Structure 1
């Protein structure tokens, strides 16, 4: 893919966010778009946000379930960047207008107490780097119309990142079994999805290991204080104005967020 096309693709995504108007799939416009091109397009947008004063607060991992990998025809996760303006306080209404076509996912968030950078990171290394875990809700969003995405589309679009809501009940890794821990997702009081930590690459810790090693291959890494979202334990659910969403995790607690009603 030509450098000028990478720049054009990044500008299209930036404008889609600014104008609140989804665009057609990038892979339709740029048939030669590769995964490596997509990460370069993501990096261009990240640098623009850093230049505008935003601060990186962590990373997210996507495509961690076997079902999603089959759907997009891939056998590996992807990652995106979490910026400071993507974090929303629990219980405070979120304006739906901040997103284009949001969906919500329940996750267990890692908060790191030390740097973690590959290659060669093991599960033991990851465990030593984790300070605590929190219940979390990730708001995913797509600047690609109707979520008609390929792996390259979602990577270029910052792994379809939207927002993060963190719960306030931290737990040590020794006190929870992330692999077997079950979780329920409630929408407006109704149970809409259930899952367990094992849906995330077999264990959310393996997702953290994958991320640290993948970033290391790109001469990047995770830093102390970073929040890492390892992937959803259930399928993503569409969000509507006025919705209230809660995730309850066995042995960890719950997290709740709500979306404001649309202004008339």
Structure 2
């Protein structure tokens, strides 16, 4: 995934100013949080002072900078990245994979999956597999992408009864990530899925009759299923890959859906 360092500036100072302004903090407010001085923060932002790697990481922590972008800040300051980026299939990630698989299995019969920062599915349970019945084969070939599968006309889109609302929700979610990460691959994915034509006969009717959260309402085997979606991430991740993993679970939005789900597992 790309970083803001590539297009925001040639130095760490303007990058830190970008993150500070994005957080809505003044130089004094940031200085007080980071046990520094407004003068020193000003010198860093204008390039008159080079921050130590410890200071870069301290400021990034108080500015809630994503882990990948913290590495970008360090690189812009002339230092080596602090956080490794280990592929999920690396042997070093075996315990993580095992933990995720146990979690997904324990969540059955409710659907659950794990995606990376580009929405590529890293793991999924049988509940997800049941919902993907009828999806075109080319969308299921690795790397399976959750956004493509959901919004493509040959994916789940024709079966989502409140497609226009659900599409808007997903695109807004991607826009929030782009505002934070400025990732070229994520931008390309967004432009691709945003350009998909809507399914014929799609309805904008909100399903479920609830007001506290938007459900995804799906036609499946002649039944109507309704789900609320929840997303979980890792606290204090120490690896770029782990920081960008998201565990999405689908909670039945009505008793009918909860009753049907156990019968759908293969």
Is the shorter-chain TM-score for this pair beyond 0.5, marking a shared fold?
Answer: no
Name the one with the larger helix percent. 2
Name the one with the larger strand percent. 1
Larger Rg, first or second structure (1 or 2): 2
